Structure 1
Amino acid sequence: MSSATAIPLRTVARWAGPALIAAVLTSLVTEAIVAAAWDRHPYSYTEDYVNFLGSPFVGEFRGFLISSPLWWLMSIAWVVSGTLVAAASIALSRKLTGWRRRTTAALGLAQATALILFAAFPLGPARFDDGTLVLYLIGAFLSIIAGNALAIVTGFSSSRLGLPRWLAIASIALGGIGLLNIPLTYGWTPTGLAERISLYSYLLWALITGLALIRSLHR
């Protein structure tokens, strides 16, 4: 029996389940609070970039009006959410072996790194002035890729994680939607909507996986 197999699911679920749910709630609740606080015009979930919520810049930027007085709260929430996902991924990886173990842990850490970059280098004039636009882009795209790839990998690893088959199918489907959405929709659908399809697919995976892990504690 491998060391991974010997680790009880309850041990993993006790940490990973609440961490995933907390990551989702931290992101979505803070997003709603920060969006509601916009003071020069209402924030648009379909038109405005997600990252504008965490931008300290106030004024016109490439046809958009940014005014997020609680930008710092959103930035903190992204870092906290990413850290929670990384912790959950490392916990889940303990039930796996080989490439699944390495990939699950690596994707969780990549997601945390991406959200730190996303928060530290918000979109605005400064990104063009100081040449750090690439860091924002790395954070934005890596977050989408790592988060949705994590959903797919855990979906293919569901039997080893002791999770139900329906969750495996849902995880793979959600991750696939999130990864394919940007190249298929970007440029002809509203920016905020295109981004949120890929963001919410990953968050929905984290929520249902977290709930399934917590439910496993009561079997």
Structure 2
Amino acid sequence: MIKNKQLIARILLILGGAIFFIAEFITAAAWSHPAYSYTYNFISDLGVRGPSTLFGQYMISPLSWVMNTGFIVFGIVLFGGILILPLNSGYRRWIVIILGLLLAIGGVLVGVFHGSGEALVDGTGAYHSMGAFIAFISGNVLFWVLSSKKVGLDISDKSRSILKYLSITGLVCTVLYVTTLVLSTDAHPIIIIGLIERGAVYPMLFNAIYLGMSQTK
């Protein structure tokens, strides 16, 4: 029974991370005028049908619904995997579950409320930003917590180190991302803002996929 739960959990973790990457790739490939830049454009630009402009970035995403579906579904699927991971009982398990739930909520907020110029004006952009940072922080902290032996996850010490260092990378990039936005006084973020944002998001996705693929001791 435990082995079955572990298998299902790992499949969901791999699927959750893959959903995000696949949705991002498909949506970005549909951009043509202008072409989408993984280093310059915000991830959220992919979810804006447009045309719209925000922070100096022109957004027109023909397959915005694909990315928004990805935003919503990836977090829910990851939460499903987290929920059935065979962990030690106690408060640490609840911390893991709460962090997984926050990640799912963040993804839903990002997918429902889009990061367009119009959203900034009508106030719904605040929900988008809130969802993004909830996901950034909770997702990276989640896998950092899972790297602890006290949680009871049956993985190797090498896997624990990978989870931990990827999580730290994600959190550092989150701080760098916020700092970059705050210091962009002309409302035109630096040309690698998209890369910095991905430094905050990708580590938790890599962690999810890696954990799903990792073997027991």
Q: TM-score, normalised by structure 2?
A: 0.89
Corresponding residue of 2:199 = 197
Q: How far 1:35 moved relative to its partner?
A: 0.1
Q: Does the 8 Å CA contact 1:39/1:67 hold for their aligned counterparts?
A: no
Match for residue 108 of structure 1? 100
Choose from 26, 31, 35 the match for 2:24: 31
Displacement, 1:159?
6.9
CA distance in 2, matches of 1:129, 1:42: 26
Q: Secondary structure at the match of 2:109?
A: helix
In structure 1, how many angstroms separate the alpha carbons of the residues matched to 2:121 and 2:172? 32
RMSD: 1.8
- Of residues 24-33 and 127-136 in structure 1, the stretch that sits farther from structure 2 once superposed is 127-136
C-alpha change, 1:38 and 1:206, in structure 2 (3 Å) is same
Partners of 1:105 and 1:159 in 2: how far apart?
Answer: 12
Report the equivalent of 2:210.
208
Measured after TM superposition, the shift of residue 62 of structure 1 is 3.2
Give the Cα separation in 2 of the matches to 1:111 and 1:159: 19
Matched with 1:49 is: 42
Distance verdict in 2 for CA 1:117–1:89, change over 3 Å: same
Equivalent residues of 2:92, 2:151 under 8 A apart: no
Alpha-carbon separation, structure 2, partners of 1:139 and 1:128: 14
Distance 1:13 1:205 in 2: 16
Counterpart contact for 2:88–2:151, Cα < 8 Å: no
Contact 1:121 1:136 in 2 (8 A): yes
1:142 paired to 2:134: yes
> Counterparts in 2 of 1:51-90, with a 5 A limit?
51-90=44-83
Query: What are structure 2's unaligned runs of at least 5 residues?
Result: 181-189
In structure 2, do the counterparts of structure 1 residues 32 and 117 end up closer, same or farther at CA, with 3 Å as the change threshold? same
**TM-score (ref. length: structure 1):** 0.88
Look up the SS of the partner of 1:172 in the other structure. Answer: helix
Runs (4 or more) in structure 1 with deviation over 4 Å come to: none
Counterpart position of 1:99: 91
User: Structure 1: 5+ residue runs without aligned partners?
Assistant: 1-6
